[in-house]
A = this chain, B = another copy of it.
Amino acid sequence: MGRGTVTKPLKVALLGAGVVGSQVARIIVDQGGTLESRIGRRLELVGVGVRNLDVPRPGIDPELLTDDLDGLVSRGDLDVVIELIGGIEPARGLVLKAIGHGASIVTANKAMLADDLGALSAAARDNGVDLYYEAAVAGAIPIIRPLRESLVGDEITEVMGIVNGTTNFILDKMVTDGVSFADALAEAQELGYAEADPTADVEGHDAAAKAAILAGLAFHTEVRGSEVFSEGITEVTPGDIAAAEQMGCTIKLVAIAKLTDDDRIIVKVHPAMVANKHPLASVSGAYNAIFVNSREAGELMFLGAGAGGNPTASAVMGDVVTVARNRARGTAGHFSPAYTRRQVAPIGESSAQFYVSFDVVDRPGILAKCAAVFGKHNVSLRVVQQSYLDDTRADGFPARLGIMTHQTLESQLAQVIDELEDADFVGSGVRVMRVEGF
């Protein structure tokens, strides 16, 4: 594979030259020799599609830049197209066109994949090309390949992770500085950890897209982002943070996908009080971590940088080498046929532990009355804490109850909450948070 080799290079086009794309372009050019020895063929970057040609792109040969992305993917001689523009359209259209012209695809686009991985996989299969997307979930952490291949002889029962660095940073800030969500978000935006429009991150949509991809791979079925129950962190208060601390927990935005007893799946994203003894509780800042439970292998954990140009570029380049190797050998890699048709169960049929806190009047027998509400709906209690807030409070609800339940159905807990909110002995503002790791 040295200088004497005369095999044709593999032609690569890059769509998007932002934080990740610019690093990918740099690696392809700077590490050309190394990549050639790993692939057996040279990679030739033949075009970089960008939206705006006026933005300076240091490190990228200006000759390669084009704003005609459609023309670029339609050249017909491309071996690999790396899609890093993000969002559903025009990314999906460009990817499908590239596939139609026989190019293998490497993408980090979780929104596009979560919207319709099934159709994209089918197009890749029908055209005999590869579709790889290690970078779409948890940045540099190798999680797609382990799910697609390493664990494919096993039965995965649950995947749980912290897959969004922005919300992890914000929740960290709320814990360490005791600030409100709004203040922590403002700081995250100042530091560039959150976007000007933070909706996708803080409302949990980004994590939901990743949860859909993980669930689909883990359970061999199609899951769309829109099927994922998603609750963001915008409603988390400093009071919730303090209550979590008191219970020996840290609040994290978790993504969970699990198999139910009746072979359906639960896929959900929500803030949760995570027991401090659980490794996920100490995953801080921009780190991501994913737990996988399976029947034979037991518990596995994967930890690493969840975002950023270089870590994401590492994952992209791993895929580029893999699909280029396949290309060099005239084959295409593994498809993960979603051969089961597992239903996503409604959130009400999901079980969880909950922490419920509310203020009550200070009268004999109140604790019994509250406990009876839980009991009536078959929700059993694990920990009950009562504290006295302030006897000068004028609202008439000076005592606070903090109750951690055992595993219970979401729908049953909802009935408990409804009844508590209607009870005259309970003050307004019942707080509910799911609990993990006990």
Contact call B303/A317, Cβ cutoff below 8 A: no
Is the Cβ of B334 less than 8 Å from the Cβ of A331?
A: no
- A contact residues, range: 35 or more
**Complex CA distance for A304 and B334, rounded to whole angstroms:** 25
A236 within 8 A of B: no
26 example contacts (A-B, Cβ-Cβ < 8 A) are as follows A1-B339, A27-B153, A31-B153, A34-B155, A37-B340, A38-B339, A134-B150, A140-B297, A140-B298, A142-B146, A142-B151, A145-B146, A150-B315, A150-B318, A151-B318, A152-B318, A153-B321, A154-B314, A154-B318, A279-B303, A296-B317, A297-B315, A298-B305, A300-B304, A301-B303, A302-B302
The distance in angstroms between the C-alpha atoms of A316 and B31, with both chains bound, is: 34
Residue ID in chain B nearest A334 by CB atoms:
B325
Residues in A33-75 with C-beta less than 8 Å from chain B? 34-35, 37-38, 40
Residue of B nearest to A324 (CB): B153
In the complex, A320 has a CB within 8 A of chain B: yes
Give chain A's interface residues, CB within 8 Å of chain B.
1, 23, 27, 31, 34-35, 37-38, 40, 134, 139-142, 145-146, 149-155, 220, 279, 294-305, 310-311, 313-322, 325, 329, 331, 334, 337, 339-340
Which B residues touch A154, using CB under 8 A? 314, 317-318
- Check A151 against B298 for contact (C-beta < 8 Å): no
Q: Which residues of B contact A37 (CB under 8 A)?
A: 220, 337, 339-340
Chain B: CB-nearest residue to A140: B297
Given A142-B150, A151-B314, 15 further pairs, Cβ under 8 A: A31-B153, A37-B339, A134-B150, A146-B146, A149-B318, A153-B316, A154-B318, A294-B314, A296-B317, A297-B304, A298-B304, A299-B305, A300-B303, A302-B302, A325-B334
